[in-house]
Structure 1
């Protein structure tokens, strides 16, 4: 039986809204979700109830309820005789989720290009500038974070909230892997060149050009995913190979 891992050292937690009453269950849920999505709890990280309860100075009950919600969101899984842990995907599952993301993004982009307001354009330009800064300073963590923000900024004006919600849901499940943190600097440069073309088409309201460059961007992403390292604990073993 594998030993139960201890919780790793966590960054500074967001203080509770009411310091006297302490953390409410919804605050614990939001904080655990944030820690997973920001990569502070990598794939496979154990989430012992007792350790987490001590971190939040609460009983195990609100922590367990939060973890059960995160299971429903695909961010956490529960293994018999092991406990809770951050979900580990196989490399094939990661690629499958990217296919889902691609389809959902493409479905919303054409409508978003036509419906985007001046405020939507300004937001996309601001995020693109942050992406540019991340590339120039080789800040892989910032690049990964702003890539998500940029893609969502392009689809949110679509007027298709259910599609956007499904895209965010699928995106969240891939976040513990932090894929863009683990690619080469040159890969980020090439992918960011695509972002610049996407922005230009979005600002011009040219849906056809936006879909064309996005399709090329997705092809590049698939190539990048094929080359992610498989020997640093990012991925689960495919079923049937755990004991090989």
Structure 2
């Protein structure tokens, strides 16, 4: 089984969000660094270097890493240390199943509660995705795709569901899936988004749920392309 990468520039890419006079936001800033996708799954997180960056002892860094381990973003391996969590492809695909189930549960309630303000939030994210596709910006598309899906279900007001949805999405972020799928697949996925926008704005819940289901089937097909990549997934 392949272990975490032993050379890491993880600490050199950290950014502190703490203002002047504030205590370092160790957990929050580590989480953001992992979710950015700058360091791929399996990247070693050097505790001493991270502690030096934040100007703290190693104790709060270790505590932060334990929290992030509980969130599924970090893993600990004996005699190696902490690293960005590396899933198997089966685990990764399962998270897509979880997201699809949660999204389906929220969409009907979202349509019932949506306002013109929600329409604008959906439209804004969709337009940003279209711009990313036009300029060939895989990372931008990845970011705006998440904003789009979140905007569709936010009107449901189901906060516990939204928390679970965000957690499931977070665990797939280090792999940067939308940056890895083929360009033709991204175009197909964006076509799905077009249909979802139309159904949402028409307040057609049945159609929206059907379009969402088709979209997730296309997603699962698209991610098959890199299922055997050892830099992304832990091989069984």
Structure 1, unmatched stretches of 5+, are 239-244
Residue aligning to 2:81: 83
CA distance in 1 between partners of 2:140 and 2:78 (Å): 36
Could you tell me whether the CA contact under 8 Å between 2:5 and 2:43 is conserved in 1? no
After superposing on structure 2, the runs of 4+ consecutive aligned residues of structure 1 that deviate more than 3 Å are 9-12
Q: What do the CA deviations read for 1:23-69 (whole angstroms, capped 9, x no partner)?
A: 43xx1111111111110221001011101112222211111111111
TM-superposed deviation, 1:158: 0.7
Residue aligning to 2:102: 104
TM-superposed deviation, 1:11: 3.3
Q: Is 2:193 the partner of 1:191?
A: no
TM-superposed deviation, 1:15: 4.3
Distance 1:234 1:128, change over 3 A: same
Could you tell me whether the CA contact under 8 Å between 1:6 and 1:51 is conserved in 2? no
CA distance in 2 between partners of 1:159 and 1:118 (Å): 16
Q: What do the CA deviations read for 1:87-130 (whole angstroms, capped 9, x no partner)?
A: 00011111111111110111101110111111111111001010
DSSP 3-state at the match of 1:104: helix
Q: What do the CA deviations read for 1:77-96 (whole angstroms, capped 9, x no partner)?
A: 11000000010001111111
CA distance in 2 between partners of 1:15 and 1:170 (Å): 24
DSSP 3-state at the match of 2:13: coil
CA distance in 2 between partners of 1:196 and 1:71 (Å): 36
CA distance in 2 between partners of 1:59 and 1:12 (Å): 16
How many pairs does the alignment contain?
A: 233
CA distance in 2 between partners of 1:133 and 1:157 (Å): 25
CA distance in 1 between partners of 2:106 and 2:144 (Å): 19
Residue aligning to 2:57: 59
DSSP 3-state at the match of 1:130: helix
Q: Is 2:3 the partner of 1:5?
A: no
CA distance in 1 between partners of 2:225 and 2:4 (Å): 31
DSSP 3-state at the match of 1:42: coil
1:28-47 paired onto structure 2 within 5 Å: 28-47=26-45
Q: What do the CA deviations read for 1:200-239 (whole angstroms, capped 9, x no partner)?
A: 111111101101111110110111121125235000011x
Across the aligned residues of Structure 1 and Structure 2, the Cα RMSD in angstroms comes to 1.6
DSSP 3-state at the match of 1:58: coil
TM-score, normalised relative to structure 2: 0.94
Distance 1:66 1:195, change over 3 A: same
Distance 1:57 1:7, change over 3 A: farther
Residue aligning to 1:208: 206
TM-score, normalised relative to structure 1: 0.91
TM-superposed deviation, 1:4: 7.6
CA distance in 2 between partners of 1:143 and 1:237 (Å): 27
